[in-house]
């Protein structure tokens, strides 16, 4: 009987631990300690950020080349996507909405450029065919990548 109880306990611990370990909501993809999803509905940057916040997260931040590649893998070819960078307070001083350090970048050649003198204060990850970063007016609409902690 004791053996049976021990086995059941072991099973329970294993099951609960695994259930807790990996869990992302349906349709979200785990990477590190977060879950990510490309939302194809086109929104302005602020609306996109607020939608991500309503899921308990933020627009994705990017902290490494590996993570940048992972995030690009979620974006269908030819689509554009907002991520959580903005330089709205001070031009050229980029911040992530989740508060992480802004130390990795993957700007396209000649970006960020506030193109033709128009303020471009929001960050997209997959510009043009080159799949690199571009600063873009925040009021433009495009798809976006949300991040949220593992459940």
DSSP 87-116: --SSTT--EETT--------BPTT-S--GG
Position among 135, 142, 144, 145 found at the interface with Ca ion (CB under 5 A)? 135
Measured from the CB atom, the residue of 60 and 138 that comes closer to Ca ion is 138
Asked if 97 touches Ca ion (CB under 5 A), the answer is no
Asked if 91 touches Ca ion (CB under 5 A), the answer is yes
Measured from the CB atom, the residue of 70 and 115 that comes closer to Ca ion is 115
Q: Phi first, then psi: give them for residue 51, nearest 5 degrees.
A: -65, -40
* Residues 93, 143: Cα–Cα separation, whole Å: 24
Asked if 115 touches Ca ion (CB under 5 A), the answer is yes
DSSP 6-47: HHHHHHHHHHHHHHHHS---TT-EEETTEEEEEEEEEE-HHH
Position among 74, 134, 145, 147 found at the interface with Ca ion (CB under 5 A)? 134
Asked if 86 touches Ca ion (CB under 5 A), the answer is no
Asked if 124 touches Ca ion (CB under 5 A), the answer is no
Measured from the CB atom, the residue of 5 and 117 that comes closer to Ca ion is 117
Measured from the CB atom, the residue of 10 and 79 that comes closer to Ca ion is 79
Query: How many residues sit in the footprint of Ca ion (CB under 5 A)?
Result: 9
* Residues 8, 145: Cα–Cα separation, whole Å: 41
Asked if 22 touches Ca ion (CB under 5 A), the answer is no
Contact residues for Ca ion, defined by CB under 5 A: 87, 91, 111, 113, 115, 120-121, 134-135
């Amino acid at each position: 009987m004791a053996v049976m109880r021990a086995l059941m306990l072991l099973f329970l611990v294993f099951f609960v631990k695994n259930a807790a370990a990996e869990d992302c909501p349906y349709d979200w993809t785990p990477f590190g300690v977060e879950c990510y999803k490309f939302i194809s509905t086109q929104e302005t940057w602020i609306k996109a950020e607020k939608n991500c916040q309503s899921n308990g997260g933020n627009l994705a931040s990017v902290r490494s080349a590996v993570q940048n590649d992972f995030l690009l893998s979620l974006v269908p070819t030819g689509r554009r996507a907002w991520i959580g960078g903005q330089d709205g307070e001070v031009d050229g001083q980029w911040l992530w909405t989740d508060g992480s350090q802004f130390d990795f970048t993957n700007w396209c050649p000649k970006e960020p450029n506030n193109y033709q003198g128009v303020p471009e204060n929001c960050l997209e990850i997959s510009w043009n065919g080159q799949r690199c970063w571009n600063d873009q007016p925040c009021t433009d609409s495009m798809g976006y990548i949300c991040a949220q902690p593992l459940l």
